[in-house]
Structure 1
Amino acid sequence: MSFCQTTPRIIAPKKVLEKFQHVTINGGIEFDDPCRVARIAWAYREVVRRSIKYLFEGKSVEELVKALYNILPNYIYLETALKQARTIVEGLLEKEVETGRVIHAEIKRMWFANRGNKFDGGNRNIRIHVRENHVVVKIRDPWGGWLEGRAFFGERYIPLLKELEELAGRREESYGVVISFREHPRIHVQIPLHLYLKHFSTPKPPGYGLVAGFDLNSDRINVIVIDRSGNIVSLKTLWFSEATRPGFPREKAGYLRLNALGQAIKYVARIGADYVAFENLYEVKRKRFTENPTANRKISKFAKRQLLLHGILRSLREGLHVVLVDPRGTTNSKEHDEVMKRHGLDRHTASAYLVALRALSKVDINQHKHT
């Protein structure tokens, strides 16, 4: 029996695929001159704060650059800050539409970032240089010179970062960097997705052309596996009801959900699935609330997009292809009711079935056969 391995990929609209070009890895960082680094972070935050106000006033990017260059005298830092401010404004406007009231942003924490550019050695203002067990980080000071720091990542990331540095040196890849100061200084490096998967995905031979559909909820994950004819092969529900109890620690709840999702993805890979399918939450503009206050509390505290992102990356690492499908009608529709009756499924498993069925129409099952 021989197998043909395939590179895992994401099947989704082009606009959504743009969100998955990079994976962020995180590490700690120490600075030789923390005061000068703090000055950059303060200026960057001030630019974001003022940009939000100016964008609401209708000022153009050109006007903002002229008005704020004296605060942060570096065009690339400035450009990155303005882009982040624009993203924040877009999010605020969405919330205003959703709630019907004016939403204000409070920017308290300090941070700074710089976008990548492969023609600038990977990143013009924040560069990484890999050593045996740590990474030297060089930071351009907008007021002159360079600052240096030492970043510490897990040992498993060193080969990945070393290859990224080499590719950036040849002008083949770039990487964005964020320096944050939540509790301790942290560094966040954006790695090209294909490079991340090269180092961390598990080579997987083709399975049986099966598709697994997932329905992600605040207290459970429902997964169903179907064959190319839409027949049910397997179904499973992983519960974590305690995660929705009042007073239950949010971080612990997040861990339970991520752990359960990881188990479910390993399960479908083990039984021969080639594809996993999720609702494309990037097409959902707002959370759907109910008349039940308890249910609304669960919904408001449930970071579903974060869980989806974890599911996508975990699936790719397992060698599975990911399909994102249109979520409309997967929860409440005539088709949903018919699936429940025909297959004797509860409403959450029926949602998972519809997700899998929609994914089935988007993939080429014939390329995933045992030979």
Structure 2
Amino acid sequence: MRSKLIGSKEAHENFQFVTINGKVEFEDVERISMIAYYYSKAVKAGINLALRGVSLNEAVKQLYNIIPYAFYAETAYKQALALVENKGSKVEIKRRWIACRGNKNDKGNRGIKFHVLEDHVEVRVKDPWGKWIYGKAYFGKKYLPLLRELEELSKRKEESYGAVISFKQKPTVHLQIPIWLYLNYFSSPKPSGYDLFAGFDLNSDRLNVVIINENDDVVTTKTWWFPDVTRPGFPKEKAKALRLNALSEALEFLSRIGVDYVVFEDLFLVKRRKFIKSKSGNRKISKFAKKQLLIHGVIKSLRLGFNVILVNPKGTTNSEAHDRIMREKGFDRHTASAYLIAMKGLEVIKNNE
């Protein structure tokens, strides 16, 4: 039986696709870089338009003067809207990239297309001022059958894919694969468990998990620590790797003891981060990509065959119920949060029976 995701409309909108990445060797790097320069410039201009509440159609007309390809201009403005929604007026554009949204009627994507060959993937990018620019992308052989099927579905106008070209080090193409297709290739069936629920509390320096049964009884609790990641100067990529590794270890542990439901806070219901008075606390918050960790956790859980429940985070950290759980069960505040998250997941299932 296929695992399922239970959560808000906002959450489901964020889990329609899974991104896979491949390094690209372009025939004309200078031309690609120029397109990226003007695309990023369009996003920057789009932020100002978004802050003024300009409509999509009007914004596309204005951004077309910067990058004269409607599909790039439209994608640029939608990205600008998302940046403003997440960060308000304090948005800085320091990098260059190219993005084009997917569309079934455009045979997958109008501006960035791919074709799977024997050992690599041909990528072509629309030049707004000229013809297509070609490149060779390398994703790894395990992704080629998946990409072949997506290519066929796109040709038949049955599926679409978003695409981004980034330039952090070497040019990289990021393809957004429909999640159902991705799971068809990369998920593994999980034996039936014991109807146990695991609540996760994700933090900058630790991962707390509480497992309960259908009767609200605590089966076990466990914490994965990574305190060094919040030290000043600690490498960002190394911190990310430690957090993701802890999350993977936790999910593998849950699979061994018979958990069926993994429960996370639905961070897509939280529009903005809340900062506190402590400077060190604010540093931890600003550097901790909690939503990124959540996305990894959800995808990994679905791949391992868990059912995933995303619950409203209201009351899981500061509430009378949270204080009561700490007193009654002797939990620290993070373990108490994980317990309340697990309880909310149990309530979701009971209410849907």
TM bucket by the smaller chain? Answer: over 0.9
Deviations 1:268-308 (A, max 9, x none): 11111111001112222333444444333322322111111
Given the alignment of the two structures, is residue 26 of structure 1 paired with residue 16 of structure 2, yes or no? no
Whole-Å separation in 1 of the counterparts to 2:233 and 2:63? 43
Does the C-alpha gap of structure 1 residues 144 and 306 become closer, same or farther in structure 2, counting only changes over 3 Å? same
Which residue of structure 1 aligns with residue 299 of structure 2? Answer: 313
CA change 1:298–1:144 in 2 (3 A) is: closer
5 Å-filtered alignment, 1:288-299, equals 288-299=274-285
* CA distance in 1 between partners of 2:227 and 2:40 (Å): 39
Q: Which moved more, 1:123-132 or 1:84-93?
A: 84-93
In the TM superposition, what is the alpha-carbon distance from 1:156 to its structure 2 partner?
A: 1.5
- Alignment partner of 1:127 is 2:122: no
What letter is aligned with 1:89? V
Contact kept, 8 Å, 2:87 with 2:272, in 1: the verdict is no
Matches within 5 A, 1:298-337: 298-337=284-323
Q: Take 2:222 and 2:255, find their aligned partners in 1: how far apart are those partners? A: 13
Q: Is 1:71 aligned to residue 66 of structure 2? A: yes
Q: 1:122 to 1:321 in 2, by over 3 A?
A: same
Change (3 A) 1:58 1:360: closer
Are the structure 2 counterparts of residues 150 and 322 from structure 1 closer, same or farther at C-alpha, using a change threshold of 3 Å? same
Alpha-carbon deviation of 1:365? 10
- Paired position in structure 1 for 2:164: 178
Q: Deviations over 1:172-191 (max 9, x none)?
A: 11111101112211100000
Task: State whether residues 209 and 365 of structure 1, in contact with CA within 8 Å, keep that contact through their aligned partners in structure 2.
Answer: no
In 2, Cα distance between equivalents of 1:58 and 1:358: 37
- Work out the CA distance in 2 between the residues paired with 1:287 and 1:52: 19
Rounded Cα–Cα distance in structure 2 between residues aligned with 1:122 and 1:177: 10
Task: Write out per-residue CA displacement over residues 1-20 of structure 1, whole angstroms, 9 at most, x where no aligned residue.
Answer: xxxxx211111011221111
Q: Please give the per-residue CA displacement for 1:224-277, whole angstroms capped at 9, x wherever unaligned.
A: 111111111121111111112222212111111110111011111111111100
Paired residue type of 1:195: L
- Map 1:140-159 to 2 at 5 A: 140-159=126-145
The residue number in structure 2 matching 1:12 is: 7
- Aligned residue runs from structure 1 range 62-101, under 5 A: 62-93=57-88
Verify: 1:248 aligned to 2:234, yes or no: yes
SS at match of 1:222: strand
In the alignment, is residue 258 of structure 1 matched against residue 244 of structure 2?
yes
Counterpart mapping for 1:342-353 below 5 A:
342-353=328-339
Question: Which residue is equivalent to 2:341?
Answer: 355
Shift of 1:83: 1.0
Q: What is the Cα deviation at residue 114 of structure 1? A: 0.9
Write the distance in 1 (CA, Å) between the matches of 2:17 and 2:315: 30
Give, in angstroms, the shift of residue 104 of structure 1. Answer: 4.2
Q: Distance in 2 between matches of 1:72 and 1:298?
A: 38
With the length of structure 1 as denominator, give the TM-score of the two structures.
0.90
Task: Call closer, same or farther: CA 1:324–1:17 in 2, change over 3 Å.
Answer: same
Aligned-partner residue type, residue 91 of structure 1:
N
* 1:56 and 2:42 correspond: no
- After superposition, the Cα gap between the structure-2 partners of 1:323 and 1:164, relative to the gap in structure 1 and judged at 3 Å, is same
Q: How many residues align?
A: 353
Q: What letter matches 2:241 in structure 1?
A: Y
Evaluate the alpha carbon distance shift between residue 357 and residue 193 of structure 1 in structure 2; reply closer, same or farther with a 3 A threshold: same
Deviation at 1:37, TM superposition (A): 1.9
Aligned mates of 1:51, 1:295 — CA distance in 2: 32
1:3 alignment partner in structure 2: none
- Whole-Å separation in 1 of the counterparts to 2:78 and 2:66: 16
CA contact (8 A) 1:55 1:86 kept: yes
On the 8 A contact 1:51/1:85 being kept in 2, the answer is yes
Distance 1:295 1:55 in 2: 30
In structure 2, what is the Cα distance between the partners aligned to 1:91 and 1:270?
Answer: 37
Q: 2 CA distance for matches of 1:35 and 1:244?
A: 39
> For the Cα contact (< 8 Å) 1:221–1:261, is it kept in 2?
yes
Could you tell me which amino acid in structure 2 is paired with residue 61 of structure 1?
A: L
Structure 2 unpaired stretches of 5+: none
- CA contact under 8 A between 2:266 and 2:310: conserved in structure 1? yes
Q: How far apart are residue 364 of structure 1 and its match? A: 5.8
Note closer, same or farther for the CA distance 1:105–1:342 as it changes in structure 2 (3 Å cut): closer
- Deviation (angstroms), 1:58: 4.3
Q: Structure 1: any 5+ residue segments left out of the alignment?
A: 1-5, 94-102
Q: Which AA in structure 2 matches 1:53?
A: N
**Aligned counterpart for 2:326 among listed residues 318, 340, 349:** 340
User: Percent of aligned pairs with the same residue?
Assistant: 54
Aligned AA for 2:81?
R
Q: 2:92 aligns with which of 81, 88, 106?
A: 106
Counterparts of 2:281 and 2:82, CA distance in 1: 29
